[in-house]
Amino acid sequence: METLSRLIFYPLLIAFFWGKLFPIIDIFIVLFAITNLFCQKSLNIKNKYLLFFTLVAIISNLLYFNLIAWLYLIRLLSLISLFIYPPKLNQNQSKFLNIILSASVLFGLIQYFIWPDFTIFASLNWDPHLYRLVGAYFDPTFTGLIFLFILIYIFFSKIKYKNILLFIVYLAISFTYSRSTLLSFLIVFSYIAIIKKSKKIFFTTLSIFIITLILLPRMPGEGTKLERTSSFFAKIENYKQGISIFIKKPILGIGYNNIPNLNPQNNQSHSNSGFDSSLLTIAITTGICGLIFLLLGLRYEFIHANLFYQSLLIAILTHSLFANSLFYPYTALLLALLKIKKQK
């Protein structure tokens, strides 16, 4: 079974690289999680809060049965299992992960310079992004977070040409024009500066952030205007709609991924299965019970983590206040793999 788990790891990362171009990652996440469970020598659980969260999520879905929702719940449980039972990566797997992360950034930059007009995909119900780096994930916000994870990973690594690589990845992040990612960058590296008691890291981070706001080109299209307010008011309205659903079923929620059936703005959009906040989405789908156990589980992860993993958690939690990124399969999977890789 251990050999099978290692074999699944490679197509899993290839599926991660191709993103939404070939959206088959869910299958490999589930297969990898199942084989990983069989590889565990002990099923002792350290972070029991995450286990309690999964139980609440299952109960919620039993109350409001929906076959499609159950498929998404299986993916969610598979992702969480990778945090409860971390798999082991050998040297070849680690090297392959590095290759995939490098290729993802390169692919994103190529897309930005060669094919910056993404409006053609509006006919397929994707957001019509223009002059923004969207990568293989068809979304600049999620792509920005993935690249921020890579930036943090490089920052904590001892590698050649480190500063050059940091510059390239940060440039890619900037071209996403994702304000939630830029804010997460500022908060994460400010936290690192505080823990390391480094004024240099803090003022360098702040300077880079301010320079980015000033110099980043405002290309044609509303999305490249960092000062835009339309999305701000849209998020407020989005939160209001989410809260209105939450108060109807506040204890155990409406079941994971049942939002498309109840969302007042239900449509064929690829983003209609959640709201613009992961914690709000969790509160709606698993109720206050699920939200409490999830927060306790995240707290456990944070206080038992090294500075690298804490930085990743701060990045995704900050980001998830403005986007449903906490359990987005690509970001959650990368979070789990980077945690494992750095704790070897």
Q: Where are the domains of the chain?
A: 2-230+273-342
Q: Please give the average per-residue pLDDT across 235-256, as a whole number.
A: 92
The predicted pLDDT at position 227 comes to: 75
Q: What's the Cα-to-Cα distance from 192 to each of 200, 283, 308, 314, rounded to whole Å? A: 11, 30, 9, 10
- Give this prediction's pTM: 0.94
Split at pLDDT 50, 70, 90, the class of 272 is low
Q: What's the Cα-to-Cα distance from 144 to each of 26, 42, 133, 138, 264, rounded to whole Å? A: 21, 36, 8, 11, 28
The residue type at 55? L
Buried residues in 73-89 as b, exposed as e (16+ CB within 10 A): bbbbbbbbbbbbbbbeb
Split at pLDDT 50, 70, 90, the class of 336 is very high
What tokens were used for 258?
A: 């049942």
User: 217-223: which pairs have CB atoms within 8 A and are 24 or more residues apart?
Assistant: 219/116, 219/130, 219/131, 220/130, 220/131, 221/129, 221/130, 221/131, 221/132, 223/129, 223/130, 223/131, 223/132, 223/140, 223/177
- Count CB-CB contacts under 10 A for residue 297: 21
Q: What's the Cα-to-Cα distance from 224 to each of 130, 220, 230, rounded to whole Å? A: 8, 7, 12
Radius of gyration of the chain (CA): 20
Give the number of residues written for the chain. Answer: 344
In this model, does residue 270 exceed pLDDT 60? Answer: no
Provide the 8-state DSSP code for 14. Answer: H
The chain-wide mean pLDDT, for the chain, equals 91
Of the listed ranges 125-129, 136-140, 270-274, 292-296, the one predicted with least confidence: 270-274
Of the listed ranges 41-45, 75-79, 218-222, 261-265, the one predicted with least confidence: 261-265
For residue 111, how far is the Cα from the chain centroid? 20
- The rounded distance, in Å, linking the Cα atoms of 210 and 204 is 10
- Count CB-CB contacts under 10 A for residue 267: 9
For residues 141 and 183, the answer to whether their CB atoms sit within 8 Å is: no
- The rounded distance, in Å, linking the Cα atoms of 191 and 30 is 34
Split at pLDDT 50, 70, 90, the class of 127 is confident
